[in-house]
Chain A
Amino acid sequence: MQSLELKQVNKSFGSLQVLSDINLKVEKGEFAVIVGHSGCGKSTALRMFAGLETATTGEVLADGKPIAGPDPQRVMIFQEHALYPWRTVEANVGFGLELAGVDKKEKRARVNAVLDKVGLDGFQRYYPHQLSGGMRQRVAIARALVVDPEVLLLDEPYGALDAITRLQMQNELIKLWRGTGKTMVLITHDIDEAVYLADSIYVMSPRPGRIIQKLTADMPRPRARNSQAFVDLRQQIMDSLDIGTYSI
């Protein structure tokens, strides 16, 4: 499995500085969550790990080696599921294997296995537009898992889902991840989601994004959302985002 690191990373788009001196290290097998305001550059940081974006200055490392570009060992899951509407569920999930030239029989077996894992067995022949939002996001996760990557990068994967589905998906994600040893980096603006899922939480400031605080969530899983430790951690994050309270 891979560890991921940003070393003194700065990123500007033209004159707009998006990231400012970011230092961040995600250990092998760790579940890291980056929280921050929308537009704070957290997605940009994640896209650097995916190899879709380069740092203006500083280093982006995987296992201590610079990331040169996209690599199927580090797969990204996008907010808007980004399934191919012209492909069935089966063909969407098998896409990565198809790109790698895996033979048909093995591809089908692996696709079916991963669809079973995300609870979508029997939906092989459906098209994305026939599925609900949650199911589509499950397909997107299956599409990433099927290539068995070392790292999963999730960019606000549940941002577009309703609250109930989102909680359900969080549980499923933890179950899918546990025991795999995969390194996870998830971006969110949902503080509860961060506390519920993460081993470590990075809080980012508004643009230009800096890491304001690194917090460790060491409560055992499954976590109770109303336990004292949970509530304390949530308050800490809100305080560092300066939304903990307000004055009249």
Chain B
Amino acid sequence: MTQPASPAPAPQPTNNKAGAVRRRPRLWAKTWPYLAAVGSLLAIWQLAATAIGKPFLLPGVVDVMPRLARIFTNEEFTTGFFKSLYRLALGYPLACLLGALLGLLGGVSKTFAVYLRSLISILQSIPPITWVPFFMILLGFGDLTVITIITIASFFPMALSVLNGTEGVNRTHLEVARTLGASRGQLLTKVFAPESLPAFVTGAQVSFGNAWRSLISAEMVGGASVGLGRYLSYRSEIADMQGVLLSIIVIGTIAAVIDLVLLEKLKRRLLHWRYVSGGDQ
């Protein structure tokens, strides 16, 4: 916390180019353990397949990879693939929006916060797929049922995270805004909301995990006739072990890509002020 004699000299010209150069080795340091983890899983799989020696029971990596490479030419698979992504693209943002909104409201009203916590604890104790039979009767077979289940399963991590975030809002930050003349609405949009952004990002990440798991499982137990989950369970029914394995790979890869690339980008964008270097902290 040193104070320059005259304020003119800047505390080091900051960022961008310098930051980008520094980030590259760090990216690699984060990437290679990840690649090692993927590699070891594949190695265990291949070893097990070789040991068992029955490709119809457990095909090896070398058996599945060629089919995986061609999988997007298979119409049954691609239809299911895009159908699942479509459901995710509707259900997940809807859940995030709903969760964030409810969480923020809980930050403003103590009574609502208690109500919301109770609601969440009830919903949390019901596994999402138990809603499948219920919504299948109510909403029918297909998109609407699956999307509703995704939303139910993934709104509450977001709501809980944002609620905790708003409870941690710096009291002085609120008072500064109040003395400068902020209305209740402005407190919400200009202090509560930005202050809860880190919690929002955490919530988005946890919610995504819930959304993806409930999407696949809802499709698997019969919430819809097409979709990645449905493809997987059908391949199992006809004892197509290659199809089962490649579905698992695709399901895992999509989740990892969305989590590591999209959500990480979102985080850096929303919280970009945290990644500005320089200064004394």
Most chain-A Cβ atoms within 10 A of its Cβ — which of B177, B178, B271, B276?
Answer: B178
Closest to B280 in A: A132
Q: Are B11 and A130 in contact, CB atoms less than 8 angstroms apart?
A: yes
Contact A71 B181 (CB under 8 A): yes
Provide the residues of chain B in CB contact with A88, threshold 8 Å.
273
Given A86-B194, A86-B273, A130-B278: A52 touches B3 (CB 8 Å cut-off):
no
Chain A residues with Cβ below 8 Å from B281 are 129
Q: Is the CB of A82 within 8 A of B176?
A: yes
Indicate the size class of the contact surface on chain B: 35 or more
Interface digits, B1-24 against A, CB 8 Å rule (1 contact, 0 not)? 111101110110010000000000
Supposing A99-B190, A132-B3, A135-B7 touch, asked if A52 and B273 sit within 8 A by C-beta, the answer is no
Contacts of A75 in B (CB 8 A): 179-180
Query: Given that A127-B273, A127-B276 are known contacts, is A119 also in contact with B7, CB under 8 Å in the complex?
Result: yes
With A80-B172, A86-B194, A99-B190 given, is the CB distance from A130 to B14 under 8 Å? Answer: yes
Please tell me which one of the listed residues A78, A120, A168 contacts residue B3 in the complex, with CB atoms under 8 A apart: A168
A73 CB to nearest chain B CB (Å): 9
Main secondary structure of the interface of B (DSSP, over half): loop
Q: Once bound together, how far apart are the Cα atoms of A161 and B2, in whole Å?
A: 10
Q: Does A248 contact B (CB under 8 A)?
A: no
| Distance of A85 Cα from B274 Cα, bound (Å) | 8
Q: Are B279 and A99 in contact (CB under 8 A)?
A: no
Most buried by A among B6, B181, B271: B181
Residue in A50, A132, A168 whose CB lies within 8 Å of B1: A132
B179, A74: Cβ atoms under 8 Å? yes
Some 26 contacts from A to B, beta carbons below 8 A apart, are: A52-B178, A52-B179, A71-B181, A75-B179, A76-B179, A78-B175, A78-B176, A82-B172, A84-B191, A84-B194, A99-B182, A100-B181, A120-B7, A123-B7, A123-B10, A129-B276, A130-B11, A130-B279, A130-B280, A132-B280, A133-B1, A135-B3, A138-B7, A153-B179, A165-B1, A165-B3
The 8 closest A-B pairs by CB, nearest first: A130-B279, A72-B181, A96-B180, A133-B1, A134-B3, A82-B172, A165-B3, A119-B7
Q: Which A positions have Cβ atoms within 8 angstroms of B?
A: 50-52, 70-72, 74-76, 78, 80, 82, 84-88, 95-96, 98-100, 119-120, 122-123, 126-127, 129-135, 138, 143, 147, 153, 161-162, 164-165, 168
B residues lining the A interface (CB < 8 Å): 1-4, 6-8, 10-11, 14, 170, 172-173, 175-183, 186, 190-191, 194-195, 197, 271, 273, 276, 278-281
